[in-house]
Amino acid sequence: MTTAHDTLSSSLLGYRAPSDPKPSRRAWTVASSILVVASLLLLLVFGVIVTNDVDGPKKWLSEGETEVVESENGVVAADDGRCSAIGAEALRAGGHAVDAAVAVALCVGVVNPMSSGIGGGGFIVVRSAETAVAEAFDARETAPSAASQNMYANNPTAKEIGPLSMGVPGELLGLHLAWSKHGRLPWKSLFQPSIKLARDGFVVAPYLAQAIARSEQAMLADPGLHSVFTRDDKILKAGDTCSNPELARSLEAVSEEGPKAFYDGWVGEKLVEDVKAAGGVITKEDLKGYRVEVSKAMEVDVMGFKILGMPLPSSGTLGMSLVLNVLGSYGSPDAVKGSLGVHRLIEALKHMFAMRMNLGDSNFVNATSYERDMLSKSFAEKVQHKIFDNTTFDPGYYLTRWSQLRDHGTSHFCVVDADRNAVSMTTTVNYYFGARMLSPSTGIVLNNEMDDFSTPTEKTPISFPLHLQTSLSQTRDHCLQ
Ligand SMILES: *[C@@H]1O[C@H](CO)[C@@H](O)[C@H](O)[C@H]1NC(C)=O
Ligand SMILES: *[C@@H]1O[C@H](CO)[C@@H](O)[C@H](O)[C@H]1NC(C)=O
């Protein structure tokens, strides 16, 4: 068993002090360099260390810049440094990793509302140090009861944009369920930093500014988005201050009354009223009937490490296993170094993204043979043989059967506390700003998760939202690495 220092520093960022080489951990180094590269490609990660003399996170990292953190007391890595700091504060106050995760998720929903929020959903993996049990919370959105197979027949864009694209949000109930099992700090206290950010305002980071600019039309067209993300009819830019007082009020209600305020109280009622007024079909009963599904986390062995992650309908654990096995089949850590390493990673990801389109909710789709392939080393070798170091290919080379999901508007973060409890959460509103609509009376951005369902006219096989959750926790010999 390695020291806490060692395990914690390498668990999230693959950091290993150059002066302390450990050749026996070569496989891990390959895996961790892959994780680091993957996370850099997917998002800018701001890590915060939990110590008593913390400097706090750097303001923003620019593209390609990395920040390595290490700690004996815990780590929080979210895609906004302010949220990592809020999570670290919860750990410092004696919180469980789940307490920090609740605080981080709420914060991300406020400062990165294009990607996350209480109007969306998430996957949460919680690994308890005490019991060594890892649970998977599926808090993804579900279809409203009035949804039907042909509801978009006359207007296909309604599946992607506007009130009809909204699924029943699951984020708050998922967080609350995880907290009720593991949390140590008062629920209310975890909301305070985010309520303050939403009410008093926060500085628009370049990442949010970019998303606002890309969605400029929606910002000007939707009254709710307009009220939060524009000033004098101009969209907010990086460095401007953004506030969302209605969201602050909604969060305050949930902090005091629990998720009931949303699922069976005034916040939910107002949300439903706004959505109905705009032409949506979601009802109070849909909110009241929402349930989080809890199961055992999926366990796979890759390179001698146990990866814990979401089972289907998330494709993350299978996808991570396939990509790591493909890269591992090169047989040397050097294979993933430098620009050639990045090329191989990207090609492996392309094959994985194509492969995962065969998956779906196991209640509806029998994907057993694809699951088996994605876990198989010999299949990974076959995929590796399709990767050429001197070229890339047209999409048809990778995508032999299905059209690809366009995925963005999602955030991911990880927390490890001093006891080595770990949380890995993917949170989303689906596309940037989800349905491109914000409920004016609650400040909540609507997800557009209905776009993940296939309709009779489409070529995707998925009959339930399918999502990629990336890295979770790697364990070996039952200790967190
Ligand atoms: C799913 O497909 C596999 C073959 O790919 C088959 O062995 C299995 O019986 C099927 N399961 C169900 C529930 O149909
Ligand atoms: C690319 O590499 C493959 C196999 O390594 C080789 O067969 C092929 O000729 C190369 N193509 C070019 C354009 O160099």
Task: Judge whether 430 and 452 are in contact, CB under 8 Å.
Answer: yes
What is the CA(389)–ligand 2 centre distance, in A?
8
Which residue owns the Cα nearest ligand 2 atom 9? 390
With the C-alpha atoms ordered 12, 18, 23, 27, is the resulting torsion angle positive or negative? Answer: positive
- For residue 283, name the pLDDT band (cuts at 50, 70, 90): very high
Which residue owns the Cα nearest ligand 2 atom 14? 390
Q: Is the pLDDT of residue 14 over 50?
A: no
Q: Is 286 annotated as a binding residue?
A: no
Q: Give tens-digit pLDDT for 223-277.
A: 999 999 999 999 999 999 999 999 999 999 999 999 999 999 999 999 999 999 9
Q: Which atom of ligand 2 is nearest to the CA of 390?
A: 1
List the catalytic residues: 410
Residue of 343, 386, 390, 393 with the most ligand 2 atoms within 8 Å of its CB, for mutation: 390
Ligand number nearest CA of 369 is 1
Residue of 344, 384, 391 with the most ligand 2 atoms within 8 Å of its CB, for mutation: 391
User: Among residues 303, 388, 320, 391, which one has the least CA distance to residue 355?
Assistant: 320
What is the CA(356)–ligand 2 centre distance, in A?
28
What pLDDT is recorded for position 230? 97
Among 33-37, 279-283, 454-458, name the one with the lowest average pLDDT.
33-37
Reduced DSSP (H G I as helix, E B as strand, rest coil) percent helix, strand, coil of the chain, to 5:
45, 15, 40
Strands 74-78 and 46-49: antiparallel
Task: Judge whether 304 and 130 are in contact, CB under 8 Å.
Answer: no
What pLDDT is recorded for position 238? 96
446: which DSSP letter? P
Q: Which atom of ligand 1 is nearest to the CA of 366?
A: 1
Which residue owns the Cα nearest ligand 2 atom 13? 390
What pLDDT is recorded for position 396? 84
| Of the ranges 13-22, 33-42, 53-62, 308-317, the best mean pLDDT one | 308-317
Ligand number nearest CA of 370 is 1
Predicted TM-score of the model (pTM)? 0.80
Residues framing ligand 2 (Cβ under 6 A): 388, 390
Q: Which residues pair with 202 in a beta bridge?
A: 242
Task: Judge whether 222 and 436 are in contact, CB under 8 Å.
Answer: yes
What is the CA(344)–ligand 2 centre distance, in A?
15
What pLDDT is recorded for position 71? 78
369 lines ligand 1 (CB under 6 A): yes
What is the CA(194)–ligand 2 centre distance, in A?
54
CA distance 245 to 424: 29
Q: Is the pLDDT of residue 54 over 50?
A: no
